[in-house]
Structure 1
């Protein structure tokens, strides 16, 4: 994982790989946008009570302006669409987009195609905070107790990893990765210890389901904070696309072109970790999204972050919306934690990527 090793640059991220010939970029964005709309429509329409897709859009248009659609549906269906399913689908899209964008940024920052948003131990810190609330029934912040505790745990883990990785006033990629992995293992053990030693099975079950990742019980009040964090974080990353592209060519090349590599990395690590912490605080641990989707995007549009980041956000949103729909319908009325499905998809891809890199 040496930051200076040429072999750690993603296969599609070479200096000549910023742009790929093939499908026009505009067409890729249109197709991905269509996938997002299709996945969102299916996510709102399908469930224990099926609502026709045209009726879903009629309900939403009627909510925007009563004159846009004539009301032919029952109030119960409107409640199901607007208050039950729509916030969950929106949160799935935001979480998927945020994890995908964060993964792409991290892979550029550490120059390693196997980097993942869970690399810095942030998700494990969030897990400890949430498990403490669930196991010990802490209600200091009411319904926001779990998200607040999860975000606090994520931030504490970030600070600890950051200071452990610094040596002599500098932070190397290798030390950061090692500190993140070590912190993640320790915090995961702490969370597991709290779960297995709990004397209340119901709280233990809630903690386990949260650790596996899921979007059940989403309400409008829990959506807006991650929406703001992901939009703001993505906007900042789009504003620093040139430095991210420079890092793909190597630290020495980036420094020779005027980039303060260590300061830039430190700032971006904080930004990405805060995005991940906010996401994990409301969704639990959902792995592999930030690992696999950036590689798919690079195959489609190349490694130039000005083109790749918007595509990654759209693909991540569509992917997690579809995964969440599968999670709640595959074994209906039981719901599978969506983190299990993403791991089933991402695990084989991760192994294939490792074998491909070894060749």
Structure 2
């Protein structure tokens, strides 16, 4: 009886989110397009969208149309995709590693992706055969592999039965890996980049949406959708991994293939986003914890809630980055860090008490 009630409540939750999610996401995208140093009315945005998508012929100021279509809307869409992807990567890593502090930034994945992207863009790694996203993907996988090996050497296995020791080992290994790849990135920039390139890359590494255009949307949207579908498809496996690899195996889950596929998928999604906007920290740490507090730990609910909250959070952070200081655009990573660092400290304190 209780199982039937649980399934019924889960199905009801899914049906509610099915129609609420698009409405909230559209509202966030419109807000990201309307709010800026120069506010734009919502009806003007709707007219521009009708002109561009439906072939309508509404009279709209050309400057406003250019700002909406060529700058703010594409920027908001990429911000949503990036927030969704990084937040879901945090959900997956926290479940697989059974560590509440795991996220792409702290685990070195973002730092590795940054190194790979800079190596391709600045140092010419691959002699033109590697794209920016592929270089970032290789760097992300390499960084995560080094972090796992360090944690394994320090604690004789990651995420096993040693609880707190395993959690501490993977976090310390992630910090070490992040610092290593950040140093490699700085070395590549110093050695190979011109002064103008160095300034642009350093701004990009802190998270930058200023150069985003529709060509980036065609890369970001498929990557984000891929991440969402992978997480939804393996939502029950993620529930099982929350209780440990042994519990997952006892439930009939092929532990190594599923875990490897999920890590590769999240590394790929993270690498794509880093190659577009640079490294943005704390999204994968803050959003999953906030959503667990609201909807619980069951991944049937947690995955869609986290995907939506990540998108809204990064759109809101982008709005703040454009409006906080008049006449100046802050790197979006500065905003997420200002919010995420206190949240990180709160998680550490609560974890110590528990």
What displacement does 1:161 show? 4.9
Aligned residue number for residue 302 of structure 1: 296
What displacement does 1:195 show? 4.3
Change (3 A) 1:320 1:98: same
CA distance in 1, matches of 2:316, 2:244: 36
Which residue of 184, 187, 193 corresponds with 2:181?
187
Q: Is the 8 A contact 1:19 1:302 kept in 2?
A: no
CA distance in 2, matches of 1:279, 1:259: 29
What displacement does 1:227 show? 1.4
Aligned residue number for residue 338 of structure 1: 332
CA distance in 1, matches of 2:74, 2:108: 28
Matches within 5 A, 1:267-278: 267-278=261-272
Change (3 A) 1:18 1:285: farther
Q: Is the 8 A contact 1:83 1:220 kept in 2?
A: yes
Q: Is the 8 A contact 2:51 2:58 kept in 1?
A: yes
What displacement does 1:183 show? 2.5
Matches within 5 A, 1:1-359: 33-67=22-56, 71-132=58-119, 146-147=132-133, 149-158=135-144, 160-161=146-147, 172-173=158-159, 174=166, 179-195=173-189, 200-359=194-353
State the SS of the aligned residue for 1:118: coil
Computed over aligned residues only, the root mean square deviation of the Cα atoms, in angstroms, reads 3.3
Larger mean CA deviation between 204-213 and 37-46 belongs to: 37-46
Encode CA deviations 1:178-229: one digit per residue, 9 max, x unaligned. Answer: 6544332211112233445678432222121111111111011122122112
Change (3 A) 1:29 1:343: farther
Change (3 A) 1:331 1:147: farther
CA distance in 1, matches of 2:200, 2:8: 46
Q: Which has the higher contact order (CA 8 A, sep 6+)?
A: 1
Larger mean CA deviation between 284-293 and 200-209 belongs to: 200-209
Q: Is the 8 A contact 2:123 2:188 kept in 1?
A: no
CA distance in 2, matches of 1:271, 1:199: 31
Q: Is the 8 A contact 1:43 1:322 kept in 2?
A: yes
Larger mean CA deviation between 240-249 and 35-44 belongs to: 35-44
TM-score with structure 2 setting the length: 0.83
What displacement does 1:336 show? 0.4
Encode CA deviations 1:313-343: one digit per residue, 9 max, x unaligned. Answer: 1111111011011101211321100001100
Larger mean CA deviation between 231-240 and 129-138 belongs to: 129-138
State the SS of the aligned residue for 1:231: helix
Q: Is the 8 A contact 1:155 1:277 kept in 2?
A: no
CA distance in 2, matches of 1:199, 1:64: 40
CA distance in 2, matches of 1:245, 1:137: 42
State the SS of the aligned residue for 1:117: coil
TM-score with structure 1 setting the length: 0.82
What displacement does 1:347 show? 0.5
CA distance in 2, matches of 1:83, 1:264: 40
What displacement does 1:102 show? 1.1
Q: Is the 8 A contact 1:20 1:300 kept in 2?
A: no
Change (3 A) 1:19 1:176: farther
